[in-house]
Copies of this chain bind each other. A is one copy, B any other.
Amino acid sequence: MELFDVIAARHSYRGAYLPEPVPHSDLQRIMEAGLAAPSGCNKQTTLLTAVETPELIDKIFEIMELPFCQTAPALICVTTKRIIAYKDGWGRERSYQVQDYAAAIENMLLAITALGYASCWIEGHITDADEQDKQIAALLEIPADERAVCILPVGRPADAMNAVKKQPFSARARFR
C-alpha cells in the first residue's frame, strides 16, 4: 500500500475484531517497522513484546478493563527504557524515550493499516494512577529496567472504521 494512502486510511479503531489469528510473520513485520523508527542519539530505547497466547491476551484485557478492543486476537505491548542521550548546558539529563516510542508506535500503526488490520494507540490508563503497567509487565515477564507504556491491539476489524473530526489544515499549519 502506498504511504500517503496508508496515512489517510489509519484511524483509531474501537470496534470488534474478527476471530482470525494474526500470523506470527505479520506481527514480526509490524514490530520490524516499529524498530526501524529513529531514536534520539540512536539510543534505541523502545522494546516490543507481541502477545499471541490467548490466555495472556485475555488477562491483559482484564487488567485494562477496556470498554473496547477486548476481541483483538493479538496485541503488541510497547515498553521503554530510560537511557540518557546527553546532559544539556544546565546539566539536565535529556532522554528522548517518549519521542522514541511514539515514533515507533506511529510506524507500527501504519504497518498494521497497510497489512489490512486495525488498532488503537492505548496508553492513557496504562501509566495512570491505576498502574496497569506494573501488572502487565509482571504478566509478560518484562525486564525490570523497562516500563510498559502502550498496548496496540491487532486484528481484522469486524466493523466500519470511523475517522475523528480534525481542525482544518489552515488552523494548524502556516507558511513563512
Contacts and interface: CB of A to CB of B under 8 A. Distances in A.
Given A106-B107, A109-B38, A114-B3, A129 B173 contact: no
Interface in A42-80: 42, 44, 46-53, 56
Contacts of A8: 36
A90 B29 CA distance: 38
Identify which of A46, A56, A86, A106 gathers the most chain B CB atoms within 10 Å of its CB.
A106
Contacts of A4: 29, 33, 111, 114
Given A3-B3, A141-B176, 14 more contacts: A4-B29, A7-B33, A7-B107, A24-B175, A32-B173, A35-B166, A35-B169, A38-B109, A40-B123, A41-B124, A49-B175, A50-B176, A56-B176, A94-B124
19 contacts: A1-B3, A3-B3, A4-B29, A4-B111, A4-B114, A8-B36, A10-B38, A24-B175, A35-B173, A52-B175, A52-B176, A56-B176, A88-B125, A89-B129, A94-B128, A96-B124, A98-B99, A99-B101, A99-B105
